[in-house]
Amino acid sequence: MAPTTARVALATAIALSCVAAQAAEVALKADGKAFRVRAPAYDAVVEENGCLTSLRVGGQEFLKAGVGNPRGAYLFQDGPLVLPTIERPAADVVTAKNDKASVRYDFGPDGVKWTVANTTAEKLLCLLVFDKAIGAVEGDNGWWEKPPTAFKWKQTTWFAGTANVKITGSSRVWGPWGDGLQVWEATVGPKETHDVTLQANAATAAEIAKAHEVATSPPPPPPADPVGPRWDMDKLSAPPAVFPAEGFSEEGVRAVFYEGPPFRGKPTRVFAWIGLPKVESGQKVPGMVLVHGGGGTAFASWVRLWVDRGYAAIAMDTCGCVPRGTSGNWDHHESGGPPGWGGWGQIDWPREDQWTYHAIADALLGHSLLRSLPEVDANRVGLTGISWGGYLTCLLAGVDPRYKLAMPVYGCGFTNEHTFAGSVNGQGEEGAARWMRWWDPSVYLPDAPMPLCWVTGSNDFAYTFNALQKSYRLPKSPRTLCIRLRMPHGHGAAGEGPKELEVFADSILKGGVPLAKVTGQGRDGAQVWATFESGVPVVKAELNYTKDTGKWPDRTWVALPAQLSEGKVTASLPEGTTVYYLNLFDERECVVSTEHDEIVQ
């Protein structure tokens, strides 16, 4: 054997022996279908459903299990995933899978590598729920916070007692959730694989002192309710300073940064795409302000959609990010504002530092920028937003009277009565009450002066019928409801594509033919009816009904044909109906809905 070959063989043998010794330091024992792990720096448990439910470092538990079902480290897609097929392919490895995803836990002496493979065409969330013993967290920007908190951090270090766990691979951290818990989140795109590392450490003396200071520092006094207007409309109605956005380009649109409100005493910049249709000299076009929802950012494709419809359009990021990355994992800009959505965990911050304040101010400034362009008719600008953007649209409708129309998609108010109620209540009694006073659309919708078009689906997972109805009844201005059976929830074609949005906007901003108008509705026993007016023929009507009770998103809805006559639709309710509404379809395939009616059994 040549000397070089011998040295390589020796080095390889040494490396293999080191790996074997390292693996030997990790004791992995089956406990029924679960596995218990003991390593020099930590202990861990993988339950029979594939969740990593325990991670103990220095004798301190870092993960929270038993929240509804075993949690700790788990996967989420339309609900928590169970991964029942568990195997041990190597001495220090446990895998788990189902038909949607697989996980691999590589247990080393000082940490765990968590590899998640998403086998579906939809995004998947990796989530960690932390134990309340976690007293402090340090983010990748060097800020220390007391959990629960919310930031777009990719690397975090969590402290409890004399130990810490350093985690890489996150998209954001957020809370409170449930009973005041802290959540860590990473997004895995369709058909993608994502790595997360959890490194267990003994904290240094300086870290222990700092973590103790953060954990035991008394909370600041609650910020006082504002006196007078909540946003300075005189200042925010002026066009903001604009800066180049180098490195961002998309066909048919222009990328810019504009000056936003200060965050923690420092100036911010807001990213936006702006698009303009071809405009004849001396002519002006209507405008549309586009507000993204959870997981989103400023979308160039959404701007182009409205440009193709003949509108100038602006889409801004409301969470301090830029459109670089993946859904729910967009890069946070160094001069960006606070993270969204909801601002959970921020309620005790100064009011002007909280996410909702910034998101509204960013949209107000984006509106001011769009209407300042010489090609835009400032008297013909509309607003639409999707999901959390629909929520913001509801607030903006009551804050910014310059809009001529508003179209919330999915979003509504009464947040403590729909799917996000737990996030509101998780802020404590006083914090929840303050959040509702400051940030719930129900406070602002009574002041909305413009016509509103509400677009949603019968089984929306977030913004449910009870809260939606209470919301759309608040404004005194005209309203139109467009509620499709099981309309999907999302950006793209789901939330941007409904034709009702274009027709409603054109009818007000371009003089187009309006959507049908419901002029009355009623019920006499099992016979229901509605009257309507329409500038184009209504060609079909349907009765949508459910016999279910319980959670709104889980109810099964059925569509039956309804009878059309001149300006009237009638239908007979099947026995056992608990809720119903009527839909009218015109020859443009646009739908207009009556209010839903709950029947007391």
Q: What is the CATH number of the domain that holds 200?
A: 2.70.98.10
Predicted confidence band of residue 282 (pLDDT cuts 50, 70, 90): confident
Residue 7: what are its φ and ψ, rounded to 5°?
Answer: -65, -40
* CB 583, CB 541: distance < 8 Å: yes
Q: How far apart are CA 579 and CA 459, in angstroms?
A: 13
Q: For the chain, what percentages of helix, strand and coil (3-state, to nearest 5) are there?
A: 20, 40, 40
In-domain check, residue 549 = yes
For residue 18, pLDDT over 50 is answered with: no
Predicted local confidence at residue 20, as pLDDT: 40
pLDDT, tens digit (0-9, with 9 covering 90-100), for 115-159: 999 999 998 999 999 999 999 999 987 889 999 888 888 899 999
Residue ending a domain, among 479, 507, 535, is 507
Quick one: 484 and 526 in the same domain? no
Q: Give all strands of the β-sheet with 568-572 in edge-to-edge order.
A: 517-524, 527-533, 568-572, 563-565
In a domain, 35, yes or no: yes
Burial class (CB in 10 A: 0-12, 13-18, 19+), 375: middle
pLDDT given for residue 119 in this prediction: 96
Do residue 348 and residue 474 come from a single domain?
yes
User: Do residue 434 and residue 546 come from a single domain?
Assistant: no
CA distances to 154, 456, 499, 536 from 541, rounded to whole Å, are: 50, 18, 17, 14
Residue 15 has pLDDT above 70, yes or no: no
Q: What is the mean pLDDT of residues 317-337?
A: 89
Same domain membership, residue 258 and residue 377: yes
3-state secondary structure of 470: helix
- Residues 352 and 467 both lie in one domain: yes
CB 95 within 8 A of CB 89: yes
Say whether both 496 and 399 belong to one domain: yes
What number is the average pLDDT over the span 500-511?
A: 98
Write the CB contacts of 403 (distance below 8 Å, at least 6 apart in sequence). Answer: 289, 367, 381, 382, 383, 396, 397, 450
Establish if 473 belongs to a structural domain.
yes
Token digits for 408? 């919330």
Which residue range forms the structural domain that includes residue 477?
250-507
470 belongs to a structural domain = yes
Computed over every residue of the chain, the mean pLDDT equals 92
How much is the average pLDDT of 92-107?
A: 96
Longest dimension (CA), the chain: 98
> Of 507, 542, 572, which closes a domain?
507
Q: Residue 185 and residue 345: Cα distance in Å, rounded?
A: 15
Residues 6+ apart with CB under 8 A from 435: 343, 347, 415, 424, 427
The structure tokens listed for 470 are 């209470």
For residue 447, is it left (φ>0), alpha (ψ between -120 and 50) or beta? alpha
d(CA 485, CA 580): 11
Rounded distance, CA 530 to CA 519, Å? 7
> Would 229 be classed as within a structural domain?
no
Tell me, what's the pLDDT at 69?
66
- Residue 185 makes CB contacts below 8 A (sequence gap 6+) with 125, 126, 127, 128, 170, 171, 172, 173, 174, 328
Cα 209 versus chain centre, distance:
35
The reply to whether 370 falls in a domain is: yes
Beta-carbon neighbour count of residue 554 at 10 Å?
Answer: 10
- The closest alpha carbon to 154, from 212, 215, 190, 197, belongs to 197
CATH number, domain with residue 593: 2.60.40
- pLDDT at site 79: 85
Tens of pLDDT, residue by residue over 507-542, are 999 999 999 999 999 999 999 999 999 999 999 999
pLDDT in tens, 438-480: 999 999 999 999 999 999 999 999 999 999 999 999 999 999 9
Q: Of 507, 539, 566, which closes a domain? A: 507
Give the chain's domain count. Answer: 3
Q: Are residues 178 and 325 in the same domain?
A: no
Asked if residue 496 and residue 534 are part of one domain, the reply reads no
Note whether 336 and 450 are same-domain residues: yes
How far apart CA 475 and CA 471 sit, in angstroms, is: 8
Give one DSSP letter per residue of 302-355, joined into a string: HHHHHHHTT-EEEEE-SSSEEEEEETTEEEEPTT-----STTTT-TTS-GGGSH
Nearest to 389 by CA among 264, 495, 507: 495
Residues 302 and 335 in one domain: yes
Same domain (yes/no): 411, 548: no
CA 162 to CA 205: how far, in whole Å?
Answer: 9
Specify if 11 maps to a domain: no
> Which residues partner with 483 through β-bridges?
456
Residue 220 forms part of a structural domain: no
Residues 429 and 290 placed together within one structural domain of the fold: yes
Residue 328 confidence (pLDDT) above 80: no
